[in-house]
Chains A and B, each alone.
Chain A
């Protein structure tokens, strides 16, 4: 069965410092990986996705993630965080064939950016 492990439940960091949120997944033939962000009392917003092609994917607000097949990882990074990045981040893998849409989520990592 597919599974996703987020290795850190909480990550405190100071503003303008770099951050890495770690994500490992169970292997599968076809892997589609996503990072979602959730602000308090909100739904999930897609941050970035890996479907195929380049293993390095970027978001419009400075986050990037690298798909590493050999290590079955999809870590999220940002070189300089802002207070506004404080949120919970979820890594997810899409499973299913024949058009089934089902996401398996990790437990989430709470990123707390301090001034």
Chain B
């Protein structure tokens, strides 16, 4: 059974640009969540999608957005990049319910210069 796949693994962007990250969940999982990991703030929840609907959103500005497709693959987009957006972005897929475990991808390392 394939794991969670995130592409690309590494990305370098310039301030003001936008970026799109992709996540393919484990087959059969319909929930995809995104997290931002930085040395200063740790792991922070961005948002969660289930059946193409955003069900939960963290405390991030509107520059951070996402979507989910009918095959459960998800993308997140960050517009007007800032230096502080440099981080490891992790995607997790899981089944239904708060008592199910989340399986994480390897992450996308975004560097904004």
Contacts and interface: CB of A to CB of B under 8 A. Distances in A.
Interface in A6-51: 30, 32, 34, 36, 41-46, 49, 51
A89 interface: no
A49 B100 CA distance: 9
A103 B56 contact: no
Contacts of B48: 100-102
Contacts of B107: 42-43
Nearest to B57: A102
A97 B98 contact: yes
Main secondary structure of the interface of B (DSSP, over half): strand
Interface residues of A, number: 28
Interface residues of B, number: 29
A104 interface: yes
B56 A46 contact: no
A57 interface: no
B42 interface: yes
Most chain A C-beta atoms within 10 Å of own C-beta, residue among B4, B92, B101, B106: B101
Interface in A52-94: 52, 90, 94
B101 A104 contact: no
B90 A49 contact: no
A90 B107 CA distance: 16
A112 interface: no
Contacts of B103: 46
Interface of A: 30, 32, 34, 36, 41-46, 49, 51-52, 90, 94-97, 99-108
15 contacts: A34-B101, A36-B104, A41-B109, A43-B107, A44-B92, A94-B98, A99-B50, A99-B55, A99-B97, A100-B55, A100-B56, A100-B98, A102-B33, A102-B45, A104-B45
